[in-house]
Amino acid sequence: MNFFARQDEARRLSRRLIVLFAIAVAAVVVAVDFVVFTVLASLHPASGGFALPTREWIFAHPGVAATTTLSVLGVIGLSSLYKTSMLAAGGGAVARSLGGVRVSPDTIDPDERRLLNVVEEMAIASGAPMPEVYLLEQESGLNAFAAGHNPSNAAIAVTRGALVTLNRAELQGVIAHEFSHILNGDMRLNLRLMGLLFGLLAIAVVARTVLRVGGRGRSRRGGVAAIVLAALAVLAIGYIGLFFGRLIQAAVSRTRESLADASAVQFTRDPGGLKGALMKIGATGGSRIAHPESEEVAHMLFAPGMRRLFATHPPLIERIKAIDPHFDLRDIDTLRARLIADSRVRQDETAPLEPPSQLRAAGPGQFAALPPAAGAAALVGNPGLAHMRLARELRETAPPAIVKAAAHPASARALLIALAMDPHTDAREKRRAYVVRCLPSAASAVEALQAQVDALEPEQRLPALLRASPALMQLTREERMQLMSALNGMLQVQGRTSLHSYVLRKVAQVHLRDEIEPTARVRMLRLSEVQNDAHVLLSVLARHGHAEEAAARRAYEIGMHHLYPRNRPAYASLDQWASALDLALSRLDRLAPPAREQLLEAMVRTVTHDEQLTIGEAELLRAVCAALHCPLPPLIAARSSAPPVSQTRQNLSKR
């Protein structure tokens, strides 16, 4: 199952979840109505004692039926909305609710440094924004989770027990598992589950409150006794509703956890890492989370955090055997004995990194791997071992000034603006003057960073933008809104516009918007509704990839034919392409996953029709994909003679 299929499955599961929740709510409403009607009918003087409500009695008291039904719906709905609004702050809010502490980018703790490095490498390899990283300091169990509404406001939390017990390969397997949840759309589904389950729990909480208040009364006769009995019945109904809600939660979670395990192995191409992490959970006694609110996030955890009736994860042994069919249960006993003898087993962070055979990063002026259209679509959301190795090299060779700037909110804002500046002198001066007017506090920092940003190689620019994401989330909402407005205003300034700078601006805007409005809903569009938008995108890609008009037209036709084999607009060289492309990308981002996959294939056909793909074109393709929420890993040059990125940089510096 590729990225687009996984995203589509998550959307179907989300719709199914809403339907099942609606059925559960309807059942709870009917049951509570029945209890209330029975109590009121029994209290009627003419009843002579206990009496079931008749149809005539219900029709004779429509106000009671309406009041009870609306009250129950109000309690469930408002409670769900309250919980959902609390979770709107993103994954960091969930991590902090469990006692998580954000890991500072300036940390000198070797374990925390290793964690940040692994998360950053996974973000670079997958082409996704780097999430915030939290440490559950008080938790000794081996566990982790990812939370958030989308990749732009995601957070990954890891327990201290996992951090000190797992070696680098095992930690990488766990982080890859969590990144699968981020990329596959599981996080939004998980937060929706939390909100809906809290609504069902609210009925039981209200009944428990009524029981506590009613239990203080001295009289147990008449109305008070009836109310207490009714509260007991509603309490039972509430917990029965919650029971079925958690049954749904467990069923959804088990499916997605199995998928995340498979994706993690595919990401790292190292089944031993994830297998080792799972084996250590079995050998050390488990993954328990002691925090009292752990039940709410049970379905989000890497491994079960508590004992419960309905398991949210497949059995541990089953997960290990899915990774290694030859697994022997006695291996856990052997590992347990070794862990007792050795307090910790860790792979040295500074160990030399062997480059993958026949796979190197393409340097400036070289050519990246030429993926077939379907092959590029299969890469989306599916980084492999070669991408992980390249990501580690890109992280280790990043200029110190860029790393430092990406670590703190104010300097990360300046870095973002510097990346968005056009290389053309006339356009840069106009946009610099605009930044001075709209963001005067950032102008000097942008100027100080511009030289280092201009020196970045093409493959370093998008990672620099992605690594700044956690620091940007520390800005106030008003500051983020001002930054997004400034990026939009830079687009409106007249002057020559570089397509690479434009796309980086667009990616930054998309990530900021996703973080500011994480729960915004839009109607999905069909390919037939975005023909003009696809025409704009493929025309711009064709024009910027070819100097000759005839070659650009052929590239455009190849891509558009894949989307619209019969009727399609003719190729056009757009003068005001930036504003047209801005609107087109915003609409194309609303395509359903299967249609988005077709669009990506069409883009690849257009860009690669001349059978050459420079590193600049490859990074442009990745940036456009990022703007469309299709994170594409770095494209690798399959040439044994191509020097690594660090060597290419050294050669350039000597010229």
Q: Which of 178, 457, 515, 557 is catalytic?
A: 178
Residue among 142, 120, 145, 144 at smallest CA distance from 131: 120
Residue among 353, 406, 265, 362 at smallest CA distance from 622: 362
Contact by Cβ (8 Å): 95, 155: yes
124 vs 313: CA distance, rounded Å: 28
187 vs 190: CA distance, rounded Å: 5
Residue type, 193: L
Which helix (H) or strand (E) is 157 found in, with range? strand 155-159
Which helix (H) or strand (E) is 200 found in, with range? helix 186-214
Active site residue 393: no
Backbone angles phi, psi at 292, to 5 degrees: -65, -20
Structural tokens at position 550: 């005839």
Which helix (H) or strand (E) is 636 found in, with range? strand 636-637
Q: Residue 185: which region, alpha, beta or left (left: phi > 0; alpha: psi -120 to 50)?
A: left
Burial of 210 (0-12, 13-18, 19+ CB in 10 A): middle
Residue 284: partners with Cβ closer than 8 Å, 6 or more residues away: 142, 161, 165, 336, 339
190 vs 256: CA distance, rounded Å: 10
Which helix (H) or strand (E) is 4 found in, with range? helix 3-43
- State the CB neighbour count (10 A cutoff) for residue 95: 26
198 vs 190: CA distance, rounded Å: 12
3-class DSSP assignment, residue 156: strand
Structural tokens at position 35: 């209890």
517 vs 370: CA distance, rounded Å: 36
Give the number of residues written for the chain: 655
Burial annotation 20-43 (CB, 10 A radius, 16+ → b, else e): bbeebbeebbebbbbbbbbbbbbe
- State the CB neighbour count (10 A cutoff) for residue 520: 10
DSSP per residue, 89-113: T-HHHHHHHTT-EEPPTT---HHHH
Active site residues: 178
